[in-house]
Chain A
Amino acid sequence: EPEVTQTPSHQVTQMGQEVILRCVPISNHLYFYWYRQILGQKVEFLVSFYNNEISEKSEIFDDQFSVERPDGSNFTLKIRSTKLEDSAMYFCASRNDRAVQHFGDGTRLSIL
């Protein structure tokens, strides 16, 4: 069964550094998403992306965040200058025309 793949599984970064989280969505999907889950808290929507542009974003997704689909298979989340509070699990999701979003297993981001 096709699945969403995320790399790396764990990323450790110094505060203030830039980090890029990578995702390979399911191949025939056209809608892409990033969510985060701080330890012990809810899964929170960050951003959705369709047709090479952001379609919706939350108040969490401020100027330090950006997303990109650099080629036909990858979807990335960049955090420009990381803060301690960016430590969380980051999940990528994708869907086709149906409503159901399918999630990857996440990247655990640890900011030191």
Chain B
Amino acid sequence: EDQVTQSPEALRLQEGESSSLNCSYTVSGLRGLFWYRQDPGKGPEFLFTLYSAGEEKEKERLKATLTKKESFLHITAPKPEDSATYLCAVQAKTSYDKVIFGPGTSLSVIP
């Protein structure tokens, strides 16, 4: 069965304290892996798509990497506005449409 797990469940950082979030996945052939950000009461906001092991994407203080079994979201020198829940999701090659989400990591950045 295709599934996605994320760790840690919650992370509390001081402003400027860099860290990484983990997404582990089991899927029958990966079509794509997605990172989304979700603010309270809002829908998921797209951050990155990764398609193959070794691929990396960057946007401001965020960098996403992908291996054959997991993805990391690295946050460099976070700011309070980076506080949100970060969702990892995968799409299997056996499905053209269905995206399977992980439970998310709730990030709090303290000033």
Which A positions have Cβ atoms within 8 angstroms of B? 4, 31, 33, 41-45, 48, 50, 55-56, 58, 91, 93, 99-106
Contact = CB atoms under 8 A, between A and B. Distances in A.
Interface of B: 31-32, 34, 36, 41-46, 49, 87, 89, 91, 95-104
Contacts of A105: 41-43
Chain A binding surface, main DSSP class:
strand
B45 to A, nearest CB: 7
B96 A55 contact: yes
A48 B97 contact: yes
Most buried by B among A31, A44, A91, A103: A103
Contacts of A50: 97
A40 to B, nearest CB: 9
A99 B103 contact: no
Contacts, number: 55
B43 A42 contact: no
B46 A31 contact: no
A91 B34 CA distance: 17
B81 to A, nearest CB: 18
A55 B46 contact: no
Contact of A99 (B31, B42, B101, B102): B31
B43 A91 contact: yes
Given A31-B97, A45-B98, A58-B98, A103 B44 contact: yes
B97 A43 contact: no
10 contacts: A4-B43, A31-B97, A33-B97, A41-B103, A43-B44, A44-B101, A45-B97, A91-B44, A99-B91, A103-B45
